[in-house]
Structure 1
Amino acid sequence: MTLSKERTQVLIIGAGPAGSVAAAMLRQQGREVVMLEREQFPRFSIGESLLPQSMEYIEAAGLLRDVVEAGFQYKNGAAFVRGERHTQFDFRDKFSSGWGTTYQVQRADFDHVLAKGAERMGAQLRFRHEVLAVEPGETPRVTVRSPEGEEYVIEADFILDASGFARLLPRLLELEAPSNFPARGAIFTHVQDNIAADAGFDRNKILITTHPEHVDVWYWTIPFSNGRCSLGVVAEKAFLDRYPGTDMERLQAIVGEAPNLSRLLANAEWGVMPVRQIMGYSSNVKSLWGPGYALLGNAGEFLDPVFSSGVTIAFKSAQLASDCLARKYAGESVDWEQEFAEPLRGGVKAFRTFVESWYAGGFQKIIFHESQQPEIRRMICSILAGYAWDRSNPYVAESARRLAVLEEICGA
């Protein structure tokens, strides 16, 4: 059977944050863009607390007004609790220049806003179109199935895989590589939190709580503008498997072990959304690009949710890829390893250093330390705000060495 065929300049697989920002940036260049999304938006996704660095990419893509007018929860920092110890970071008081505020978002709405914004700018957006096969090369092609079940072929100058956790090209092209992180999982839901106004809870900050007995087990509490919170726990699979019952019973039992959350959520209404879980989410690939394609966001590498870096990394990958394609269409030679993969991995490496230190307990000693040097605190705040590509920050340029020295000082 001969399939119908069409042609575009850039084909984007996935209409999540990476795909939509890439599409909007490419439309600003005048490129023809087709976005294929397997799901129908709005749809649920995790990764709900943005970092201020992400606002730079939203603004550059021409999508800032779309996001601002959507009415999401304002966010200016992060609060941390372990036992009776409390600390918080105001992202406006940071080392790096740039945005110091952002939003906490329900991703079903946020992703839909970005996708429709990219469509408004001229990208073709096709929901419920599933990619079945990919042929990389000088003129890559994909085979697609429409919602009506009809198959067709799209040829493109270039493909951007923004398929997220579906990791389409890594699976189809055998690019997947093992992550060096332990197999952790997350159990999470949304609750109507009913937190009292005088409870001391700052809705403008994400709350990260460490388990009182297990330094590598932590909870997120992300307040939304509609009176609900995203609530989840992250731990190694062996820890989560200790708890019997339904997913809701397991999550409630683990949350009950954190005294501050028990107090805050004493009047919370559960059941407003099903409890979900993701296991073994950390991922990696052999290469972030190949003949006629590049991998964006979670399709390439996902670290860990602890510092909410996922969407920022996705946006950064979209910006780097769109810049490379601008040079390609200007007739320049593009080195995708040096101009896309290496810069992207530079920031991911800085995030990784802090994530590893968090789970080992060293970074927690730093942030809860009673005597903190203000300038170093601002440098760390920049990392937490997403500025992991600012190499003027010593904790980016020499993240491993600097953090190791600071851990030793605070540990002593």
Structure 2
Amino acid sequence: MRTYDAVVVGGRVAGASTALLLARSGARVALLERSAYGADTLSTHGLMRAGVLQLSRWGLLDRVVAAGTPPIRTTTFLYGDQEPVHISIRPSPGVDALYAPRRTVLDRILVDAASEVGVDVLHGTRVTELLRDRAGRVSGVRARTPGGPRDLAARFVVGADGIASSVAQQVGAPLLREGRWGSAAQYAYYEGIGGTGYEWAYRDGVAAGLIPTGDGLSCVFVATSPQRMRTLRTGRSAEDTFERVFGMAAPRYADRLAAATRVGRQFGWAGRRGFVRRSWGPGWALVGDAGHFKDPISTHGITDALRDAELLAGALLDALTGIRDEATALDAYQRRRDLLSAQLFQVSDEIAGYEWDSDQVQPLLRRVSAAMIDEVEMLESLTPAVPDRPGHPAPVWR
């Protein structure tokens, strides 16, 4: 049975980033993902400043740009019938613009980077059971791989397997906090809709957005409360409902949508409330949506995943090398994550209630902006970054 410092369950943004950072500092890591290499997944697409900063610091932003992801240098807000508010994205060290890569692009970049530094990557692999030692500590995983059943031993098992995390379920990770609301959202890709920046529209309990991504496409989304979405959809097709909600939120953009061509099918989700789980215990930890999920209306999920991967990787490396004991290191990871997430979690939940009009949503969005500034300042204070920590011995656990 192969032994690792960490087995990461879930090879999307949070999991691949955690594996990458651990391996760059000398840890022996396996990364398990049940889907195929390069498969798409539901996503909010947009990288906020903190997310772009992370990719830049890790030396991966150039790959995102080389894949044809367009730079985003402006953000436009539409509030009801008011005149649009245009904001230029201010360049800063490591952040020349914002980006919104397709997940078929970003996930591959992160997985490839992890593989390049020695991570054992297994796609098409489903974890069926957590292994435990005689004291009950998690000590590895039992997985169903394309080559058959396989056991992998590890000092730590990291659950990066999303909202319905099997790792969280098997360790019984309790909910520490839960939101009150959850958005119903639909999105699709359009060609020829125009625009080169983020465009967000809000009007009396409905929202819409245009997010430029690769291949000349824009991700266009609509969102409102689940109850209102069900009411609007009664007797209508999903396509008609999408167009109606878009027209309610952004009527001045309705002609642009009508003139554009949809590419592929619609995607969506409905009504999942945000939550915070206890995210560590003997031999295990959670990262990304497995441990902390906020409503997608914040468009912050990818950025959260990148941030938390660095926080967790640093904590695990400290535990593996004896800089801090395991409990102290992992508790500090969760406390820091929760402190950084608390304000954005709360305001995202308030927005996801859709009980606002176009005037009332504006102070809520200013609170979102303030939370993002705090996050960037924290990331800039992480000196040196995890991948630049030389001198750590390879912490292979036996």
Query: Please, what TM-score do these two structures have when normalized by structure 1?
Result: 0.80
| 2:339 is aligned with 1:342 | no
| 2:230 is aligned with 1:230 | no
CA distance in 2, matches of 1:390, 1:357: 24
Look up the SS of the partner of 1:241 in the other structure. helix
Q: Which deviates further from its counterpart, 354-363 or 302-311?
A: 354-363
Residues 73 and 103 in structure 1, CA contact (< 8 A), matched pair in contact too: yes
Look up the SS of the partner of 1:42 in the other structure. coil
**Same amino acid, percent of matched pairs:** 21
1:221 is matched by which residue type in structure 2? L
The verdict on how the C-alpha distance between 1:91 and 1:291 changes in structure 2, with shifts beyond 3 A counting, is farther
CA distance in 2, matches of 1:158, 1:55: 28
CA offset digits 1:363-409 (Å, max 9, x no partner)? 633489xxxxxxxx8x975645x6436379xxxxxxxxxxxxxxxxx
Structure-2 residue corresponding to 1:396: none
The verdict on how the C-alpha distance between 1:288 and 1:76 changes in structure 2, with shifts beyond 3 A counting, is farther
CA distance in 2, matches of 1:324, 1:120: 23
Shift of 1:315: 1.1
Residues 76 and 85 in structure 2, CA contact (< 8 A), matched pair in contact too: yes
CA distance in 2, matches of 1:330, 1:253: 56
| 2:311 is aligned with 1:320 | yes
Structure-2 residue corresponding to 1:390: 377
Structure-2 residue corresponding to 1:67: 64
CA offset digits 1:131-156 (Å, max 9, x no partner)? 111135545221100125x2111110
Structure-2 residue corresponding to 1:365: 362
Give the aligned CA root-mean-square deviation in angstroms: 2.7
CA distance in 2, matches of 1:387, 1:248: 39
| 2:168 is aligned with 1:170 | yes
Structure-1 residue corresponding to 2:44: 47
Shift of 1:77: 4.2
CA offset digits 1:194-244 (Å, max 9, x no partner)? 135xxxx3x1x2111113xx2x32112111242211111122110110113
**What does residue range 195-214 of structure 1 map to in structure 2 within 5 Å?**
195=193, 201=195, 203=196, 205-211=197-203, 214=204
The verdict on how the C-alpha distance between 1:89 and 1:289 changes in structure 2, with shifts beyond 3 A counting, is farther
Residues 23 and 118 in structure 2, CA contact (< 8 A), matched pair in contact too: yes
Structure-1 residue corresponding to 2:386: none
CA distance in 2, matches of 1:154, 1:69: 36
Shift of 1:28: 1.4
Residues 347 and 368 in structure 2, CA contact (< 8 A), matched pair in contact too: no
The verdict on how the C-alpha distance between 1:167 and 1:77 changes in structure 2, with shifts beyond 3 A counting, is farther
Structure-2 residue corresponding to 1:260: 252
Residues 274 and 349 in structure 2, CA contact (< 8 A), matched pair in contact too: no
CA offset digits 1:267-291 (Å, max 9, x no partner)? 1112x21112212333424411111
Structure-1 residue corresponding to 2:269: 278
How many residue pairs get aligned? The number is 365
CA offset digits 1:34-54 (Å, max 9, x no partner)? 100000022222120101211
1:264 is matched by which residue type in structure 2? R
**Structure 2 segments unaligned to the other structure (5+ residues):** 380-398
Residues 24 and 62 in structure 1, CA contact (< 8 A), matched pair in contact too: no
CA distance in 2, matches of 1:363, 1:355: 14
Structure-2 residue corresponding to 1:142: 141
**Structure 1 segments unaligned to the other structure (5+ residues):** 369-376, 393-412
CA distance in 2, matches of 1:143, 1:38: 13
Residues 70 and 212 in structure 2, CA contact (< 8 A), matched pair in contact too: yes
CA distance in 1, matches of 2:282, 2:371: 33
Which of 77, 88, 108 lines up with 1:112 in the alignment? 108
The verdict on how the C-alpha distance between 1:21 and 1:284 changes in structure 2, with shifts beyond 3 A counting, is same
CA distance in 1, matches of 2:28, 2:6: 6
Shift of 1:111: 0.9
Structure-2 residue corresponding to 1:371: none
CA distance in 1, matches of 2:56, 2:67: 15
CA distance in 2, matches of 1:219, 1:347: 26
Structure-2 residue corresponding to 1:179: 178
Higher relative contact order (CA 8 A, sep 6+): 2
